[in-house]
Amino acid sequence: MTTADPDLVVDEAAPETTVRKAVFEVLRRHGMTTIFANPGSTEITFLTGLPDDLDFKLALHEGSVVGMATGWATATGRPAFVNLHTTAGLANAAGALATARTNRVPLVVVVGQQDRRHLAHDPFLAGRLSGLVGDYPVWTGHPARAEDVPGAVARAHHEAVTGEGPALVVVPMDDWLQPAGQLRAAAPADIRRGRPTLGAAIGELASALDNAEDPVVVVGSAADGESNWAAVTALAERLGAPVWQEPFGARAGFPQDHPAFAGHLPPARSAVRAALAGHDVILVLGAPVFRQYPWEPGELVPATSTVLQVTPYADDTHHSIADRAFIADVSPTCQALLGRVRARAGHSASARPPAKPLSPPRAGEPLRPGHVFDLLARGLPQDTILVEESPSSRPELHRRVPARAPHGFLSAAAGGLGFGLPAAIGLKLGAPRRPVVAVLGDGSSLYGIQGLWSAAHYRVGALFVVLSNGGYAIMDRLAEQSGQGKPPWPSFSEVSIAGIAEGLGCLAQRISGHDELAAALADHLPVLAGRTSPLVLDIEVAADPAYG
């Protein structure tokens, strides 16, 4: 195989394999045979002439690349492989990498670099990559020699799994065709993760719960998954305790149609204290204690409450106000507690019943987000994965559309926009048999709108429900609440999401009426699991008058 540079002529059929071939073997060994990328010139040597068993997925912006990979890794439970182009590519992906880190999704990210042989002269496209995306990567590798690259990629897989986030490897473009050498990669070929149960600490937890007069449970993203849902549900029923979802959670930690589900904790301290008032023991499972926004004075929880935290993430305990924190997995801990705590009478109904359906708007009245959510709740298949990125109407979505199956809800815990649209594509790629719906604001969708091309090109059958109010409604509401006067940003009602979607190859429908929306959802939701092409519903709605 040859390149334009005669110094890089390498016979890939020679007995000693190349770095490129050795890395392909690492990818196969770890099940990372789908490559998510938006390549540049520093990636040509790596990507051209890929073997048939490696599947390449292009996105038109690096935020969409990483968002798709994050969705895929979430759906499959395996690290996804990402290839980015030197400085511009890595910088464009920074927000999406921050989301992957906060959502605790493992990614192996190879970042291209200029030719190693003239890096000392700061050539064109040489990347100053160290620290470019801060400390969001769980690990960053700069292999000292070309032959160290395969081992560094294997280690990145190890670091991504154990650190539960993106691990980066920077690879100069001339490394790929160099001899790989014979050294075994300094990372295990198979990583199995499992924390032991709490052992003697189970007795301490059980005693605190048994002595509680009125315990309450708060669940978080780390309680998502079939075994966690089953164990948490059984424990909550035995304790007779209501169950709240953490604020700003990336995933649902409990079946939200269960009678014990109390709702989502609000994003302000005073409201959290009001929600948890009267409960003397607060058991937090798989969540930080607690993520809040905006700032308010006062304590996070009632002064008379004892907070017990069980989390698999040590860093969640570093900024926790829990009285006692335990680093352990949720499911085995709950299973161990089931045999130690006494059964008590439970709550027969939710502390916060689901919102009553809205009456359809009268003639001349606009649709509201609640109307859209009521129709979705009525028609969504139970196993739907719903991706949310509609900040101004998120509380309304939570009140009206419960997550009813493990992995049924996904959002960006970091709060940055541009995640939801590409994440839905990656989720459908990774879980093709499940229905996938993304609920997006029109403003939010524009941060990742290029992803619709990937959805159309790769025939990804996700449904994109876009709530179009022609502006940044969450910003408008926050500006109003600040009392500082009129905000300087304009609306963007001229933008047609349906028109953009069609221009990117997607089937799209603009909807403004209740009957029209009901008919569209009735047509599409029952067959959503089997869709083989994307659909965008661009729904004209009035902005919600309040947030929170």
> CA torsion sign, 59 to 65 to 67 to 70?
positive
pLDDT at residue number 1: 33
**CA–CA–CA angle 526, 398, 309 (5° rounding):** 120
* pLDDT (average), residues 488-495: 86
Tokens standing for 216?
């309450």
Model confidence at 198, pLDDT cuts 50, 70, 90, reads: confident
Distances (CA, A) of 363 to 396, 469, 512, 540: 23, 19, 12, 15
Residue 477 scores a pLDDT above 80: no
pLDDT tens digit string along 245-261? 999 899 999 999 999 99
**Proportion of the chain above pLDDT 90, given as a percent:** 75
Over 90: is that where the pLDDT of 497 sits?
A: yes
Structural domains present in the chain: 6-175 (3.40.50.970), 201-338 (3.40.50.1220), 369-540 (3.40.50.970)
Q: How far, in Å, are 15, 121, 440, 475 from residue 279 at the CA level? A: 69, 65, 35, 34
Residues 372-384: what's their mean pLDDT? 96
Q: How confident is the model at residue 544 (pLDDT cuts 50, 70, 90)?
A: low
End-to-end alpha carbon distance in the chain: 60
Instruction: For residue 148, give the DSSP letter.
Output: G
As given in the structure block, the two tokens for residue 354 are: 């689901």
Region 306-315 average pLDDT = 93
Handedness of CA 240, 246, 251, 257 (dihedral sign): positive
Who contacts 403 (Cβ-Cβ below 8 Å, separation ≥6)?
252, 255, 256, 386, 409
Residue 480 has pLDDT above 50, yes or no: yes
Mean pLDDT in residue range 502-525: 97
